[in-house]
Amino acid sequence: MDNAHRLTVEIKAVNHRYNEIVIRMPRNLNVFEDKIRRHLSHVLLRGRIDVFINIDEYGQKNREVRVDKDLAIAYHNALKELTELFAIPGSGKAENVYHIAKYPDVIRVEDIEEDALLLWEKLSQALDIASRNLLTMRMAEGSNIAQDLTARIEKLSGFIAAIEERAPQIMVEYREKLLNRMRDTLATLNVGLDEARILQEVALVAERINFTEELVRLKSHLSQFQQTLLVEEPVGRKLDFIVQEINRETNTIASKANDYCVANIVVDVKSEIEKIREQIQNIE
């Protein structure tokens, strides 16, 4: 704000995976659109950013009276030609200066354009203030989101611990079920039992449902997520990627386990993952 202008800048930000800046402002400021976009993109790296700019001009404007000399001479010559053509009394004189000045566009009052560099300096200051205020609010919101995400990751860790505890029993039950089925089938076919061979085949098949590696990777992803939350830089996209990996490992575990208890736990895990994914959209 100064003696001639009052610039108002309002910035709003909402969830978005990318950086989208939408600017609404008076036409006379359109020349600064690219500058505004670049200026804000260095500070606000993610989200849909709506920027509202208004300018009030008050006080005495700088104006200038301009005379179109060529047009005035043309009017003068035209009038002189007419008076001579119709032999009007006083034909030796053309219309006086006062009357010629009243003809369209002979005299124009124009506003003197303000120095664009000076106006941009004022506008950039207003943008800085608005973006700082937004960042302050984002920091406060980010702190709350970080606490929420930490609590949800701890909850996920509890679910994973329950799956890990259930895993050995799944293997025992699966081996026993498969072994009994093979024995019954061979007995029905009246084929002799080779216990060693049967146990070997059962072990090979049972290995396919082993999801120990997925559990190890899943716990690693959870740990990486918590560590990333502590980094002093934009982490939204990285967290989004980690959540995708967590979701993928969870799907693999559910598919391999084929167990009712694990399936119930996975439902809770998936629910928490979706809540985490929604929150991450608020993080730059």
Per-residue pLDDT tens over the stretch 122-168: 899 999 999 999 888 888 888 888 899 999 999 999 999 999 998 88
Given the structure tokens 């081996």, which residue do they identify?
A: 175
Strands 47-57 and 19-24: parallel
How far apart are the C-alpha atoms of 18 and 237, rounded to whole Å? 9
240 C-beta neighbours (distance < 10 Å), count: 15
At 272-284, the pLDDT tens digits run 999 999 888 777 7
Binned at pLDDT 50, 70 and 90, residue 91 comes out as very low
- Check residue 92 and give its pLDDT: 44
Cα–Cα distances (Å) from 19 to 45, 89, 146, 274, 282, in that order, read 6, 76, 21, 22, 12
At 10-64, the pLDDT tens digits run 998 877 767 889 999 988 788 899 999 999 988 887 778 999 999 886 655 556 6
Domain edges within the chain: 5-59+117-135, 63-110, 139-280
The SS3 assignment for 59 reads coil
Binned at pLDDT 50, 70 and 90, residue 120 comes out as confident
Q: 248 Cβ partners below 8 Å, 6+ apart?
A: none
pTM of the entire predicted model: 0.60
DSSP 224-281: HHHHHHT-SS--HHHHHHHHHHHHHHHHHHHHHH--HHHHHHHHHHHHHHHHHHHHHT
At 192-244, the pLDDT tens digits run 666 677 677 667 766 777 888 899 999 999 999 999 988 877 788 899 999 99
